[in-house]
Chain A
């Protein structure tokens, strides 16, 4: 890969109970992620994905582009909007810079036309 190249697009549709499994795996049981009734009471349309789950999909797209996950050396993101279960997420990215054996990849996670993670910048090692 070189500057201007796209990383392979990653598509994933978290199922209805994914937020519960992610809560168990991560330890984050905030009810806005696992309790649709609670989420509605605080003004959300339903239970929402953990932002760090969506960030993990951005990490996965970059790790797979690099060859394996441990080649991802830095990732910074801004969370914008909300992600929901049972809707497809698309992660796409463009190599914007090459320096010191690393590629800098501008990455976006989009769901239903909303960029739920944007201004994500990844650095991956290339050999």
Chain B
């Protein structure tokens, strides 16, 4: 069934980046550089506003990536899923005030060694249509 869903695209998800969310995320992962916390420090370093750490991509992309995992046509058994691999390619930095739109596509499905591999690719762009992140999410389902 999953084979037939390869190429399926999911609705774009729009995320508005806020300064406090960047700070909360930076605190959780230990990014202490003031450019992630303090507007003046970020501006002094040449950014429009407080800048998101690169892995903040998981926050703005989540709304596009989550629904694909639970899509009945994709048919991924979430209870048996492990996150197998992940790639991010970053473009323009993401700052507070940006509006990020993410699209997501079910890119590939394969089976080997009794495991199912579900690969999704998401593309995130900012309000000026500049690409900020392209991500490949590989989820592995063991057994049935």
Contacts and interface: CB of A to CB of B under 8 A. Distances in A.
Interface in B38-88: 45, 47, 51, 53-55, 58-59, 62, 82-88
Contacts of A57: 29-30
Contacts of A79: 82-86
Given A27-B59, A59-B53, A70-B54, A75 B88 contact: yes
B53 A63 contact: yes
Given A52-B58, A68-B45, A74-B88, A24 B30 contact: no
Interface residues of A, number: 29
Interface string A20-60: 01101111100000000000000000000001110111011
Contacts of B82: 79
Interface in A74-103: 74-79
A70 B28 contact: no
Contacts of A52: 55, 58, 83, 86
A25 B29 contact: yes
A24 B24 contact: yes
A18 to B, nearest CB: 7
Contacts of A25: 21, 24-25, 27-29, 59
A73 interface: yes
A61 B84 CA distance: 21
A79 B51 CA distance: 27
Contact of A27 (B62, B83, B86): B62
A74 B29 contact: no
A78 B82 CA distance: 11
Interface of B: 21, 24-25, 27-31, 33, 35-36, 45, 47, 51, 53-55, 58-59, 62, 82-90, 93, 136
